[in-house]
Structure 1
Amino acid sequence: MSADQPRVDPALVAGNRIRLSGYEARHFRWTVHERVGTVTLDRPQRKNPLTFDAYAELRDLFGRLRHAEDVQAVVVTGAGGNFCSGGDVHEIIGPLLRLKAPELLMFTRMTGDLVKAMRHCPQPIVAAVDGVCAGAGAIIAMASDLRYGTARSRTAFLFNRVGLAGCDMGACALLPRIIGQGRASELLYTGRAMGGEEGLQWGFFNRLCEPEHLLEQAQALAHELAHGPTFANGLTKAMLHQEWDMGIDQAIEAEAQAQALCMLTEDFSRAYHAFVEKRRPTFEGN
């Protein structure tokens, strides 16, 4: 192939690579800076509750991130010193009482599809959790890949307290894998809040930060990931997700195939030459 020929067919690129830096969110704030996209739940007067529209837009945004070429890591946070208080009592909980089974299933599938979209987008997701993190807010934090919290954060899977099962949006599958079966059972059966220090000890949080530095440190981590070997990071995330359903032999074979693909990338070559030349590699995600 000559130097003036495109490496990828433009028609293929047009159908599979999009830019999200110009996306204007309607039901939360969305910004992109240096390959890091930041979702800010922005209803601070109500501790950032979700609405039907917010659920749907979040689901669709994370779905589109699978094709984004200008976003390599994502931060999710909340405005005004709280993360998210869950579904809005007046705009979601009240209306749900008037729905029949088919419409209720439409809603619960939509909320579950948000978690699926978060787990299937290749970008690592960092949740920056301060203050209230309850219900669906706790689920969004749980569905992220990494979580930074504060000592004053209070995370509650409070479905039990409103007469619902703890098995919501994948909680019974995901939460035990993060903090263990017994601890997850306690939180899901009781709905009690888990404090920041407890969340750190239990492995829910990767790190606790001072509230005034929380977003800055979460974005610094996301920036580091976004400027790393992003193709390889995407495979790591895919393997972490897929291997929950594999035996050890299957997992080892899947990782062998994934690693062989990574060895074909320019980033692998860049890392080798940088090591030989005693400098830090500059990754480009290809």
Structure 2
Amino acid sequence: MSSTQHEIDPALVAGNRRPMAGYGAEHFLWDVKDGVATITLNRPDRKNPLTFASYAELRDLFHQLKWASDVHAVVVVGAGGNFCSGGDVHEIIGPLVQLKVPELLMFTRMTGELVKMMRACPQPIIAAVDGVCAGAGAIMAMSSDMRLGTARSKTAFLFNRVGLAGCDMGACAILPRLVGQGRASELLYTGRSLGGEEGERWGFFNRLCEPDALLADAQKLAADLVAGPSFANGITKTMLHQEWAMTIEQAIEAEAQAQAICMLTEDFSRAYHAFVAKQKPVFKGN
């Protein structure tokens, strides 16, 4: 295959691919290294609660990741030994009780958009969960593709405990798919905390880590994903999400089409030639 066949119109690239390492986050910490982006919720004195502004910035950032050329996996972690305590009581909960329905719906749709953007971005997202993981924090962990926890982590979908329904930000759709309908019902009806060891048994956590090693383990997992066929990983994430609404027959056909596209990638060819040469393939995401 000649090199000219690999050339792409620069205007097309400019409109569809852009680096994100230089993104200047305002409401959390942002770092990109070797294809792994780390988002650190950084209000440790309050157990890293979200505000109207941080909700919006997270929503917009995950949306922008669709076009990131230098981010192939994302780690979300909290500072100071806790993940996220949910919406800030003083900066969100207090103002909400003063609002009318149109403004309340504006807020709930904004929070739901964060979940939509997390599910829609092509990069696998790994939540590194230690300590308190409550309310919207639990939702962000739930919405990630994988979750690493610690024995001391406490995950609570506590909406019921503040007089709200458990059906918040997609919880009634996503949580049962992770832990089962009965267990999800228990968490959403009672708002009780799910401990780390119990969360691993239930399948909410992929595995538990030592607190001091949690971030490094999450970043190592992310790096392993980055070293894999990142284009194909994006297709896998897309199909995992889209097939929730498909019949088995529709899913099989959709996967046939998706896999045929992946067979056109150079990573697929690289894997074959590496196998023939008895070598480990070096994937480049194209």
Give the TM-score of the pair, scaled to structure 2: 0.99
Work out the CA distance in 1 between the residues paired with 2:53 and 2:108: 14
Percentage of matched positions with identical amino acids:
76
For 1:246-265, list aligned pairs within 5 A. Answer: 246-265=246-265
Match of 1:38, SS state, is strand
In the alignment, is residue 162 of structure 1 matched against residue 162 of structure 2? yes
Work out the CA distance in 1 between the residues paired with 2:172 and 2:2: 53
- Report the number of matched residues: 286
Q: CA deviation at 1:2?
A: 5.9
Match of 1:76, SS state, is strand
What is residue 147 of structure 1 aligned with on the other side? 147
Work out the CA distance in 2 between the residues paired with 1:145 and 1:192: 23
**Alignment RMSD:** 1.0
What is residue 172 of structure 2 aligned with on the other side? 172
Work out the CA distance in 1 between the residues paired with 2:40 and 2:273: 39
Q: Which runs of 4+ in 1 moved over 3 A?
A: 1-6
Q: CA deviation at 1:94?
A: 0.1
AA in 1 matched with 2:28:
F
What is residue 125 of structure 2 aligned with on the other side? 125
Work out the CA distance in 2 between the residues paired with 1:207 and 1:24: 32
Unmatched runs of 5 consecutive residues or more in structure 2: none
Q: CA deviation at 1:3?
A: 3.4
What is residue 225 of structure 2 aligned with on the other side? 225
Match of 1:80, SS state, is coil
Work out the CA distance in 1 between the residues paired with 2:146 and 2:259: 22
Work out the CA distance in 1 between the residues paired with 2:140 and 2:17: 26
Q: CA deviation at 1:6?
A: 6.0
Unmatched runs of 5 consecutive residues or more in structure 1: none
Q: CA deviation at 1:180?
A: 0.2
Work out the CA distance in 2 between the residues paired with 1:164 and 1:64: 31
Work out the CA distance in 2 between the residues paired with 1:5 and 1:220: 35
Match of 2:3, SS state, is coil
Q: CA deviation at 1:227?
A: 1.6
Work out the CA distance in 1 between the residues paired with 2:74 and 2:144: 9
Q: CA deviation at 1:9?
A: 1.0
What is residue 112 of structure 2 aligned with on the other side? 112
Match of 1:109, SS state, is helix
Work out the CA distance in 1 between the residues paired with 2:10 and 2:152: 50
